[in-house]
Amino acid sequence: MYGGFTTDLKRRLEQHNSGRGAKYTRVRRPVKMIYHEEFDSKSLALKAEYAFKHQPRSKKESFLSAHGVDLESIKKN
C-alpha cells in the first residue's frame, strides 16, 4: 500500500507503472489507484500524506474501507 503527493495523478500513475516512480512501487507493478483526495494547499496534502504513511496497515485499511474502497476485491486481483 503506497500513498503519495502529486499535482498530476495521471502522470504520476504512469511514472509508477513505467518503473520511474518511487522505489516501493518499482517492484510492485502494476500499480492501481484505489483512492485519491484533493486538498486546498500543498501543505495540507503533505501533512495528510505524512499522517497516512505513519499509520499501521490496519488503520490504512480501515480508512480506505470507510471511504468506500472494496479491499476484498482488490486483494483478489
pTM of the full predicted structure? 0.75
Write out the three cell numbers for 42: 500543498
Per-residue pLDDT tens, the chain, 77 aa: give them. Answer: 888 899 999 999 999 999 888 888 888 889 888 999 999 999 999 999 999 999 999 999 999 999 999 999 887 76
Q: Give the integer Cα–Cα distance in Å for 24 and 29.
A: 10
Q: Give the integer Cα–Cα distance in Å for 36 and 47.
A: 15
Q: Give the integer Cα–Cα distance in Å for 28 and 46.
A: 23
DSSP 38-52: --SSHHHHHHHHHHH
Residue 21 sits at the vertex; the CA angle it makes with 20 and 27, to the nearest 5 degrees, is 90
Q: Give the integer Cα–Cα distance in Å for 53 and 47.
A: 10
